[in-house]
Structure 1
Amino acid sequence: MPVLVNEKIDSLLETTSRSFYPTLKYLPKKTRGQIGLLYLLARVADTIADSKVGETEVLLDHLSAYNDVVQGRAADLPDFEPLAEVQTNEHEAELLRNVPLVIDGLKHYQDDDQKRMLECLEVIVSGQILDLERFGPANEGGGISALPTDEELDDYTFRVAGCVGVFWTKMSLAHLMKLPPDEEKLFMERGVRFGKALQMINILRDIPEDLRFGRCYIPEAALKSIGLEPEALMDDTNLEIFRPLYDRYLDLTNEHLEEATAYIQMIPDTQFRLKASCMLPVLVGQRTVTLLREGNILDSDERIKVTRDEMKTYAKKLLRALLIPGGVRRLLEKNKDAP
């Protein structure tokens, strides 16, 4: 049975997401489709922005035009076929060839849910536009550009992931659970930290790949404080100098993950599926942080990630934990990274 609007959209979702799709299937049916569709809408934007071939101005134009059509501000999509043809990932190419179908999926949901999806997508695209404006010219010139400060890093993680925590929380409160107003505010704040945690993991895991395309998300001011320039991170012999700063960002990620754990604890035990869907990315995130703390994160040949077998093991563990009183808290505590 499709989890979204139809089998084609479901197939696009499954083939373009290795880590998110397993989480999606745990979600309650009342929110599964909307969250899955937002993922696809955002993935289209991400595929445009991350295209490794194409002038920055062209990608910016395509990204803005796509968002304008989704938001209802324009009617005509750009021709994505040239961009699809240069994708190295065949599934992302197929996604670009089916953009109208993905956008059409919005009409299957009520107005309030459409509004929540569009609000979140607007913020995500704003982050991707900033990304292209910051890093595109450097990439075209063969150089590397870095985020200036920790404040810009925090803003970026909110735009591309923290806002998804807001969306997820709004959907949960609208369809699945109720909290007192003061607890709603805390739940929302923790949802933002949840999203930021997952994006920080992406950033800290993908340093070598990002550098190859002129992007350095480790702030320039922080690098200068230890006597390094962004280009120095391309040489893994600088790992010893970089490691204390890197570990500081891992510690920040752990702080975000602690808030994500607290977020899960606020979900009523009756919301079995919602808890499960939140637990899996936290468990995988905790494990990834541990691997990053141990590995050579500047070596482009050492790809650090949780294996599919580990993912399956976590799926089994979380289901057992949900059935045992106190099991959720114990599993998350046992699994977390220990600096």
Structure 2
Amino acid sequence: MSNPTRAELLGPLLKSVSRSFYLTLSVLPAGMRDPVGLAYLLARAADTIADTSLISPEKRMELLLSFRSQVNGFPDSDALTVIRAEVASQQMDSDEKVLLESLGPALVVLSQFGQSDREAVREIVTIITEGMEFDLRTFPDESSGRIMALQEFAELDQYTYMVAGCVGEFWTKMTYAHVPGTFSDPPTLVMDRGIRLGKALQMTNVLRDCGKDLRIGRCYLPATILTRWDLTPQDLLSPDLSLRARPVLFELVRKALDHYRAGIEYTLSLPSLSIRLRLACLWPILIGLETVSLLVNNDRWLDPAKVSKIRRGDVYRILALSVPMVASDRLLRMWAERLIAKIEARMND
């Protein structure tokens, strides 16, 4: 795919790099699919630039900032050449490599969007790359052998906004723009719930990936919470301390569940006949809650070899069960509340 067309970018390439998220994209109303899909591709490319550890953090920062500038309308063909030469060439995943080699055509597609969609995509990619910039500035080089922890929960909360809460914000703006009249609740309430849905999903990712992140020097679990339980980031490197560290896990899970409840209300505020939009919100919530359930039942949640990951068969089960229920507020609420109650019961044992 040397010079992909718009259809190839937002079809086969998007499907190959988005994996399970493509399920959500596929059920979106037609007008939303292209801007949401392109935003995903651009964010995924930025993430690959920021995470390619064979390149120095300083160089990654330089390329990331250049990429952000290009997304915001300042072309730099030399920088794209460097990304292809220095980042794409390091990728073991051929799909990621193709994505990085396709950034020129992707930016052309962005320029072809209407003004409101173009500005919305630029805004979300800017915020997400600010989250990646935060990572590169806050944490040590992956090969340094050092670990740095966030200090306060407010830092983690802001981080979850930058890398995922803003996605809920963008999603809501796209819904207002392309499916007007969808939401009946006040816009500020709808926007807050959308942001909190994104934060819930990212909090789940942070907790699920904790063991892996610690080994590259990143502790997203706030030091103030660790200190309360007489723990340090270095302690968390031992999977045998998973049980001792469960109070930290449970405290952050409870915060995540509060966000999930807001996400459920966000989903149920969509009209019952907005099947596609409901499914697109419902699937990440249910998959996220089942992941949280695995986490609170995982006695070695800090072990990177024992990651709490939902099985593919369970994903298909969720998809199959959700379709006949999606129009029923009562059934959806019961399903989500039953999952939350199961999680809370485990934490209260």
Hey, what does 1:89 align to over in structure 2? 93
Check whether the contact 1:13–1:21 (CA below 8 A) recurs between aligned residues: yes
Runs of at least 5 residues in structure 1 that lack an aligned partner in the other structure: none
**For 1:138 and 1:168, how far apart are their aligned partners in 2?**
33
Hey, what does 2:206 align to over in structure 1? 203
Q: 1:251 is aligned with what amino acid?
A: R
Check whether the contact 1:138–1:144 (CA below 8 A) recurs between aligned residues: no
Once the 2 structures are TM-superposed, how far is the Cα of residue 173 of structure 1 from its aligned partner? 1.1
Q: 2:275 is aligned with what amino acid?
A: F
The Cα offsets for residues 242-279 of structure 1, whole Å up to 9 and x where unpaired, read as 10111111111111111000000111123111011110
Hey, what does 1:298 align to over in structure 2? 302
Once the 2 structures are TM-superposed, how far is the Cα of residue 52 of structure 1 from its aligned partner? 2.0
**Cα 1:338–1:175 shift into 2, 3 Å:** same
Q: 1:57 is aligned with what amino acid?
A: E
Once the 2 structures are TM-superposed, how far is the Cα of residue 308 of structure 1 from its aligned partner? 1.3
TM-score of the superposed pair, with normalisation by structure 1:
0.94
Where in structure 2 are the equivalents of 1:100-119 lying within 5 Å?
A: 100-119=104-123
Hey, what does 2:48 align to over in structure 1? 47
Answer yes or no: is 1:327 the counterpart of 2:331.
yes
- Aligned identity (percent) is 34
Q: 2:207 is aligned with what amino acid?
A: L
Answer yes or no: is 1:216 the counterpart of 2:219.
yes
Within the candidate set 169, 179, 192, 1:189 is matched to 192
Once the 2 structures are TM-superposed, how far is the Cα of residue 182 of structure 1 from its aligned partner? 6.4
RMSD (CA atoms): 1.8
**Cα 1:333–1:90 shift into 2, 3 Å:** same
**For 2:310 and 2:214, how far apart are their aligned partners in 1?**
22
Answer yes or no: is 1:317 the counterpart of 2:318.
no
Once the 2 structures are TM-superposed, how far is the Cα of residue 14 of structure 1 from its aligned partner? 1.2
The Cα offsets for residues 20-61 of structure 1, whole Å up to 9 and x where unpaired, read as 111111111111111111111111111111112111100000
Check whether the contact 1:146–1:230 (CA below 8 A) recurs between aligned residues: yes
Answer yes or no: is 1:255 the counterpart of 2:239.
no
Runs of at least 5 residues in structure 2 that lack an aligned partner in the other structure: 345-349
Check whether the contact 1:120–1:163 (CA below 8 A) recurs between aligned residues: yes
Once the 2 structures are TM-superposed, how far is the Cα of residue 163 of structure 1 from its aligned partner? 0.8
**Cα 1:335–1:108 shift into 2, 3 Å:** farther
The Cα offsets for residues 280-325 of structure 1, whole Å up to 9 and x where unpaired, read as 0001011000000011211121122111111111111110102556
Hey, what does 2:347 align to over in structure 1? none
Q: Aligned residues, how many?
A: 335
**For 1:173 and 1:8, how far apart are their aligned partners in 2?**
25
Within the candidate set 130, 137, 141, 2:134 is matched to 130
